[in-house]
């Protein structure tokens, strides 16, 4: 395996550990954290690829920066939804949210 | 000849082990707060990985945004929701085993594709100062998405406030 392949394998591992968390856990906050892990995996893949294929990580860094900014927005909205739901339902378990009637 | 130039196997192994152990900690730990702490360390590891890949600016941004801001928001959410049991409610039943199998299989497919494919590049290396290149990209080619991000963040800010506001009038 080349160096880039090692980096991409690490990124893939991070992504799928996050995917496992999204699929397996019921606590919404853990699900949000797992989504962040998945986004980090993608970022790592972008930066590694850019770094190895074009010499500088510039382009990959750019997209990673956009993803980080969007992830911040996503977490803010996600946590806001969780807290709004928690007020309503006293729970952060996903199976309690099965009927979101409002 | 490795087209990354200075690939340090030992540093990579340390970072990889660190990131993967911490990521598993996020997913598997019994208490949510432990998950959050593991997430902080995982993001620190990813920041270290960025630094190894010569994306130093991104490493700093990673620490500022993830380790600084997102972790704080998550920990606040954990404290506000005050869930006593957070644990492995679903562990080792059918759904979890299916999810684990699915994640493992997908990871095997992707890593297999990465290993099988020949990624040895054709591009020769010129190590420009990455930040200079980044600023050039950001403020020349991608100005519009850059400005759009600020709009998205503003919308998220207002949306978060609206969502968490108490809705006395409606009930």
Using an 8 Å Cβ cutoff, are B26 and B17 in contact? no
**How many CA atoms within 13 Å lie on the side-chain side of B81?**
29
Enumerate residues 6+ apart whose C-beta is below 8 A from A93. Answer: A26, A27, A28, B89
A contacts of B69 (beta carbons < 8 Å): 72
pLDDT over 90 (residue A42): yes
Spatial distance between the Cα atoms of A73 and A93, rounded to a whole number of angstroms: 22
Q: Do A44 and B7 touch (CB under 8 A)?
A: no
Chain A hits for B138, CB-CB cut-off 8 Å, are: 62, 65
Mean pLDDT: which of A28-42, A57-71, A85-99 is highest? A28-42
How far apart are the CA of A32 and the nearest CA of chain B, in angstroms? 9
Say whether pLDDT at B14 is over 80: yes
Contact A2 B120 (CB under 8 A): yes
Confidence of residue B23 (pLDDT cuts 50, 70, 90): very high
Predicted pLDDT at B145? 87
Cβ within 8 Å, pair B128-A56: yes
**How far is C-alpha B46 from the chain's CA centre?**
7
Residues 6+ apart with CB under 8 A from B156: A72, A73, A74, A76, A77
| Two structure tokens written together for B62 | 């990673």
Q: What is the pLDDT of residues B108-159, one digit of tens each?
A: 888 887 777 666 554 444 445 667 777 788 888 888 888 898 899 999 889 8
Confidence check: pLDDT of B86 > 50: no
Average pLDDT score over residue span B73-82: 83
Cα B11 from chain centroid? 19
How far apart are the CA of B22 and the nearest CA of chain A, in angstroms? 10
Q: What confidence score (pLDDT) does residue B85 get?
A: 53
A75, closest residue in chain B (CA to CA):
B70
User: What is the C-alpha separation between B152 and A68, in angstroms, rounded?
Assistant: 12
Of A8, A51, A61, the CB nearest to B134: A61
Pick B77's closest partner by Cβ from A1, A29, A54.
Answer: A29
B110·A71 Cβ contact <8 A: no
Answer with the residue of higher pLDDT: A39 or B166: A39
Angle among Cα B63, B83, A31 to the nearest 5 degrees reads 50
Candidate from B13-17, B57-61, B131-135 with smallest mean pLDDT: B131-135
| B119 with A2: Cβ contact below 8 A | yes
ipTM higher than threshold 0.90:
no
10 Å Cβ neighbour count for B24? 17
Provide the pLDDT confidence category of residue B91 given band limits of 50, 70 and 90: low
- Indicate the angle between helix axes A28-54 and B9-28, nearest 10 degrees: 160
What global pTM score does this model have? 0.77
The per-residue pLDDT for range A75-91, each reduced to its tens digit, is: 989 988 888 888 877 77
Of B3, B62, B74, the CB nearest to A33: B74
The packing angle between helices B32-52 and A28-54, to 10°, is: 10
- Whether residues A20 and B69 touch (CB distance < 8 A) is answered with no
Grade residue A9 by pLDDT with cuts at 50, 70 and 90: very high
Does residue A26 sit in helix, strand or coil? coil
CA–CA gap between residue A47 and residue A60 (Å, rounded):
5
Average pLDDT in chain A = 86
A11-25, B80-94, B98-112, B151-165, range with greatest mean pLDDT? A11-25
Is residue A15 exposed (0-12), middle (13-18) or buried (19+ Cβ within 10 Å)? buried
**What's the confidence (pLDDT) of residue B125?**
43
| Predicted local distance difference test score (pLDDT) of residue B20 | 94
Highest-confidence segment of A11-20, B54-63, B158-167:
A11-20
């Amino acid at each position: 395996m080349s160096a880039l392949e090692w980096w991409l394998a690490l990124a893939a591992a991070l992504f799928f550990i996050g995917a496992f968390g999204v699929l397996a856990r019921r606590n919404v906050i853990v699900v949000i954290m797992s989504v962040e892990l998945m986004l980090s995996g993608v970022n790592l893949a972008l930066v590694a690829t850019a770094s190895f294929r074009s010499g500088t990580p510039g382009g990959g860094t750019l997209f990673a920066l956009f993803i980080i900014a969007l992830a911040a927005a996503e977490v803010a909205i996600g946590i806001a939804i969780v807290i709004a739901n928690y007020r309503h339902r006293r729970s952060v378990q996903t199976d309690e949210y099965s009927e979101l009637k409002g | 000849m490795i087209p990354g130039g200075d690939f340090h196997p030992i540093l990579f192994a340390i970072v990889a082990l660190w990131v993967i152990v911490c990521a598993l900690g996020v997913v598997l730990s019994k208490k949510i707060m432990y998950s959050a702490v593991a997430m902080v360390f995982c993001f620190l590891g990813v920041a270290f990985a960025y630094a190894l890949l010569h994306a130093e600016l991104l490493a700093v941004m990673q620490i500022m945004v993830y380790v600084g801001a997102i972790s704080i928001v998550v920990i606040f959410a954990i404290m506000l929701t005050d869930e006593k049991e957070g644990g492995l409610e679903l562990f080792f039943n059918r759904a979890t085993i299916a999810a684990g199998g699915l994640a493992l299989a997908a990871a095997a497919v992707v890593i297999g594709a990465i290993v099988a494919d020949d990624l040895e590049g054709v591009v020769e290396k010129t190590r420009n100062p990455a930040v200079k290149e980044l600023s050039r990209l950001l403020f020349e080619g991608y100005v519009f998405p850059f400005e759009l991000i600020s709009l998205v963040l503003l919308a998220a800010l207002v949306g978060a406030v609206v969502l968490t506001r108490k809705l006395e009038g409606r009930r």
